[in-house]
Amino acid sequence: MAGQSFSGIRRIYAAFFNSLAGFRAAWDHEEAFRQECLLCLVGVPLGLWLGQTGIERALLAGVLLNVLVVELLNSALEATVDRIGYERHTLSGRAKDIGSAAVFLALALAAMVWLLVLIR
């Protein structure tokens, strides 16, 4: 938050709880985030089990976690655009579409990595 002057361990402590609040907000307000969390709940353990090497395990789990990262950024972008105003504007629509495209690419990357690793 603006105006906070925490330093050291207090800053890390505050950042941790701000992050938890962000996860909670995404879970409460973003259906896509909930769906992707469920995908990770199944996919990450499965990727850790199916991977033959450490690199394969990291790739299979990492690309799924990357989807969550991109979804969180997209959700933050959409919330910011909505905060500015709900009226239709070309730039607002473009920003939301670009964020959606980023999520799509993250999902496509995940699918490609899973296919390439598992078909060997």
Model confidence pLDDT, tens digit, residues 40-98? 999 999 999 999 999 999 999 999 999 999 999 999 999 999 999 888 899 999 999 99
Counting beta carbons within 10 angstroms of the beta carbon of residue 26, is it exposed (0 to 12), middle (13 to 18) or buried (19 or more)?
buried
Tell me the pLDDT band of 103, cut-offs 50, 70 and 90. Answer: very high
Model confidence pLDDT, tens digit, residues 11-41? 999 999 999 999 999 999 999 999 999 999 9
Tell me the pLDDT band of 6, cut-offs 50, 70 and 90. Answer: confident
The identity of residue 118, as a single letter, is L
Taking a C-beta distance cutoff of 8 angstroms, is the pair 118, 50 a contact?
A: yes
pLDDT of residue 3: 56
Q: What is the DSSP string of 91-119?
A: HHHHHHHHHHHHHHHHHHHHHHHHHHHHH
Q: Which residues, at least 6 apart from 37, have a Cβ–Cβ distance to it below 8 Å?
A: 27, 68
Supply the pTM of this predicted model: 0.89
Mean pLDDT across the stretch 108-112?
98
Catalytic annotation present for 78: no
| Cα–Cα distance list, 43 to 9, 65, 87, 91 (Å) | 34, 10, 38, 35
Counting beta carbons within 10 angstroms of the beta carbon of residue 63, is it exposed (0 to 12), middle (13 to 18) or buried (19 or more)?
buried
Out of 5-9, 33-37, 56-60, 99-103, least confident range: 5-9
Write down the catalytic residue from 36, 71, 78, 87.
Answer: 71
pLDDT of residue 1: 54
